[in-house]
A and B are shown apart, each in its own frame.
Chain A
């Protein structure tokens, strides 16, 4: 067991010595990782490097074989996903997973569920407190939709939104959890260069105005290099490099992981 301090001030999320084995396969091998308060960090690596598995451990969908996760100083490893989400870890999905048969506004309100108090009985009786809470949730939802720039679509069904708007709606929904940490899983997948560039600004705005720390999994290197303050590189389940974008750009092991050792094999980039 590690004897490191659970957390220090300024860490939004801390993962210590995370290992995940599926049978004999080690998907993530002793990875430690910190997201600083209000930081924007990226997790990159070739396909199959274990990025998504690592993500799933943070959110509680997978249980780590060993290691611990702390969220804002509280240990969350082993807790149920909905509890971890409630405590401040929100995410978006690589392949958009909105509630398609609900309106944009309802999608956002679903994520506020865990922060609302009124029970089923007060809901049925429509107590004043319940009504106030419901009205408040609606206002907050509208405000979030405006924040991500799709305020006009509040009444539209999620599935009828354009691809770009669906991505924005996912961010609004995640922010509705009032997260401490926002995980973005390949947020620019399917975007053209202009949209990706605008997205970089958007991530900065989210961080600045919503006071969240952001962790991205991203394949578009131009996005990663422009948006990230720190980058962690995974390869075959191991943390092979960590540092500023410039460090990573010039790191020989990273280049090898992506392109293969010169002249040895044809292990190609997944770009």
Chain B
């Protein structure tokens, strides 16, 4: 006890300069970003809040996709690189269902019923495809070196993209949405209807997922499996089923994100999942990979940063640059993420 206290006291002065400089730089950067935001809040409040709305809309989508990364990483420490492409396939499916099957292209009551039906179907699709991928590809690699499932995930990503090209075409394809770009204005702040829909779907989904993980017996089994697979097994938990369920939940979130993305932007492309997937992955790391609340927080933060940059900062052309610079800075200053713990904690 006393020895460690003495050691700590001795270690402090030598650490001080480097650590202080590092931490200081970190805080200065944060302060600069905050000052930048406040400046625009004061100068042009309406434009600022309009930008926030855009950022939250975007961030909600990132959060939904980021959850899939974080859930799977939490339970089997696999970075599922095909997850973004799963989201893309769900967006294509949503297009076909909404436009071709239900003919929902205008804001009618029927169209909203179609939206709900499509949401359920897209989530089932995402869950089923992700579970199948786990069953067919990842499960047999569970005891293999970590690179094997990782490369498999990259391969699967190409398979999904090929599916995207086959169904959606090799270029941008526009789909009619039920809300278009219509919206309303409160106090000079422009709010698109799609943002209301995205929020109305995302918030219950996130709360529901959190509840499943924290309170239900299946959620407890997932957390137990994430912490100690063998101990979980010896306590009567079917680990294979539990991992399947985790993939299903992550896939369902990506399915929902696919529909919401399509309804927000009215367009999708076979490689949409690559870019969004990378950003969502960054969000998961930003929040602390394996941490569910972290994924949501990271998603919303990146959405906001991106929106602020696009409107006030370096512009759309540098959007990706800014996001990935954040990733690099984070790796330098806080590699465990905002809510992540420095130890090897999961889910």
> Do A and B interact with each other, yes or no?
yes
Q: A residues engaging B (CB < 8 A)?
A: 59, 61, 80-82, 85-86, 90-91, 93, 97-102, 106, 109-116, 118, 120, 123-124, 134, 137, 173-174, 176-177
A-B contact count, CB below 8 Å?
Answer: 85
Residues of B212-271 whose CB lies within 8 A of A: 212, 216-218, 220-221, 223-224, 227-228, 230-239, 245
B233 and A102 contact, CB distance less than 8 A:
no
CB-based contact A110/B212 at 8 Å: no
The distance in angstroms between the C-alpha atoms of A137 and B221, with both chains bound, is 14
Number of interface residues of B (CB under 8 A): 23
Which interface residue of B208, B220, B238 has the most chain A CB atoms within 10 A?
Answer: B220
Contact, CB under 8 Å: A113 / B223: no
Question: What residues of chain B lie closer than 8 Å to A91, measured between beta carbons?
Answer: 234
Is B22 part of the contact surface with A, judged by Cβ < 8 Å?
no
Closest 3 pairs (CB-CB, A-B): A114-B236, A85-B236, A111-B235
A-B contact pairs, 12 of them (CB 8 A): A61-B233, A80-B238, A99-B228, A113-B235, A113-B236, A113-B237, A114-B236, A120-B216, A124-B208, A124-B212, A174-B235, A176-B235
- Contact between chains at B218 and A120 (CB < 8 Å): yes
A-chain residues with CB within 8 Å of residue B217 when the two chains form the complex: 109, 112-113, 116, 118, 123, 134, 137
A110-B237, A114-B237 given; A102·B220 CB < 8 A: yes
B238 contacts A82, C-beta separation under 8 Å: yes
Query: Known contacts A85-B233, A110-B220, A111-B235; can you find 20 more A-B pairs with CB under 8 A?
Result: A59-B234, A61-B230, A81-B230, A81-B233, A82-B235, A82-B236, A82-B237, A97-B231, A99-B232, A101-B223, A102-B220, A102-B223, A102-B227, A110-B224, A110-B237, A112-B217, A113-B221, A113-B237, A120-B216, A124-B208
Complex: how many Å from CA A207 to CA B208? 42
Question: Is the pair B224, A99 in contact by a Cβ cutoff of 8 Å?
Answer: yes
Given the known inter-chain contacts A101-B345, A124-B212, please indicate yes or no for A93 contacting B220, CB distance below 8 A: no
Chain A contacts for B228, CB-based, 8 A:
97, 99
The smallest C-beta distance from B100 to any residue of chain A, in angstroms, reads: 29
B130 vs chain A, min Cβ distance (A)? 15
Cα separation A140 to B235 with both chains bound (whole Å): 16
Q: A97-B228, A101-B345, A120-B245 are in contact. Are A82 and B218 (CB under 8 A)?
A: no
Interface residues in chain B, defined as those with a beta carbon under 8 Å from any beta carbon in chain A: 208, 212, 216-218, 220-221, 223-224, 227-228, 230-239, 245, 345
Which residues of chain A are within 8 angstroms of B220 by Cβ–Cβ distance? Answer: 102, 106, 109-110, 113
Measured between C-beta atoms, what is the minimum distance from B148 to chain A in Å? Answer: 23
Given contacts A93-B231, A99-B231, A113-B217, contact A82 B345 (CB under 8 A): no
CB neighbours (8 Å) of A120 from chain B are: 216, 218, 245
> Given the known A-B contacts A109-B217, A113-B220, are A82 and B231 also in contact in the complex, defined by CB atoms under 8 Å?
no
Q: Which of B218, B224, B238, B239 contacts A123 (CB 8 A)?
A: B218
Which chain A positions have C-beta within 8 A of B233? Answer: 61, 80-82, 85
Q: CA A258 – CA B91 in complex, angstroms? A: 68
A82 touches B239 (CB 8 A): yes
Known: A118-B217, A137-B217. A111 touches B236 (CB 8 A): yes
State in angstroms the CA–CA spacing of A116 and B245 once bound together.
17
A215 CB, nearest partner CB in chain B, Å: 14
Question: A102: which B residues are within 8 A, CB to CB?
Answer: 220, 223-224, 227
> Is A123 a contact partner of B216 (Cβ separation < 8 A)?
yes
A81 proximity list for chain B (CB < 8 A): 230, 233-234
Measured between alpha carbons, how far is A220 from B237 in the docked complex, in Å?
Answer: 32
Instruction: State A186–B220 Cα separation when bound (angstroms).
Output: 27
Which A residues are CB-close (under 8 A) to B235? 82, 85, 90, 110-111, 113, 173-174, 176-177
With A120-B245, A123-B218 as known contacts, state yes or no: A177 contacts B223, CB within 8 Å: no
Chain A residues, CB < 8 A from B216: 120, 123, 134
List residues of chain A with CB within 8 A of the CB of B223: 99, 101-102, 106
Q: With a CB–CB cut-off of 8 A, which chain A residues contact B234? A: 59, 61, 81-82, 85, 90-91
Using Cβ atoms and an 8 Å threshold, which residues of chain A touch B208?
A: 124
Across the interface, B221 reaches (CB within 8 A) one of A59, A90, A110, namely A110
A258 to B220, CA, bound (A): 44
Are B245 and A86 interface neighbours, CB within 8 A? no
Contacts of B239 in A (CB 8 A): 82
Residue of B nearest to A96 (CB): B231
Q: Which of A90, A109, A110 contacts B232 (CB 8 A)?
A: A110
In the complex, what's the smallest C-beta–C-beta distance from B214 to chain A, in angstroms?
Answer: 9
Bound state CA distance, A91 and B236, in angstroms? 11
Chain B residues whose CB sits within 8 angstroms of the CB of A174 once the complex forms: 235
Q: How far is the CA of A99 from the CA of B345 in the complex (A)?
A: 11
